[in-house]
Homo-oligomer: A and B are copies of this chain.
Amino acid sequence: MNKQQLFEQIQRKKSFLCIGLDPVLDKLPKHLLKYDNPILEFNKQLIDATHDLCVAYKPNTAFYETRGVQGWDTLVKTWKHFPKEVFTIADAKRGDIGNTSAMYAEAFFKEESSGMSFDSITVAPYMGKDSVSPFLAYQDKWVILLALTSNQGSQDFQVKQSDHHKLYEQVITTSQQWADSHQMMYVVGATQAEEFKNIRRLAPDNFLLVPGVGAQGGSLSAVCEHGLNKQCGLLVNAARSIIYASNGEDFAEKARAEALALQQEMEQILVAANLI
Chain A residues within CB distance 8 Å of chain B? 22, 24, 60, 62-63, 65-69, 71-73, 76, 93-98, 100-101, 103-104, 106-108, 110, 113-116, 124-132, 146, 149-158, 160-163, 167, 170-171, 174, 216
Contact = CB atoms under 8 A, between A and B. Distances in A.
A160 B167 contact: yes
Contacts of A100: 22, 60, 62-63
A149 B93 contact: no
Contacts of A161: 162-163
B152 A130 contact: yes
A195 to B, nearest CB: 16
21 contacts: A63-B103, A66-B103, A66-B107, A66-B110, A66-B113, A68-B76, A68-B116, A93-B124, A97-B216, A98-B151, A124-B127, A126-B157, A127-B149, A127-B154, A128-B152, A128-B157, A130-B151, A132-B153, A157-B167, A160-B163, A162-B167
B157 A114 contact: no
Q: Which has the most chain B C-beta neighbours within 10 Å: A22, A124, A160? A: A124
Contacts of A108: 65
A3 B126 CA distance: 27
Protomer copies: 2
A127 B96 CA distance: 16
Given A125-B157, A162-B161, A150 B66 contact: no
The 3 residue pairs across chains A and B that have the minimum distance between CB atoms = A128-B153, A128-B156, A68-B114
Contacts of A156: 125, 128-129, 174
Contacts of A154: 127-128
A167 B22 CA distance: 32
B62 A151 contact: no
A60 B96 contact: yes
A157 B170 contact: yes
A154 to B, nearest CB: 6
Nearest to A132: B153
Given A62-B103, A65-B103, A162-B167, 7 more contacts: A62-B107, A63-B103, A68-B116, A93-B96, A124-B126, A127-B146, A160-B163
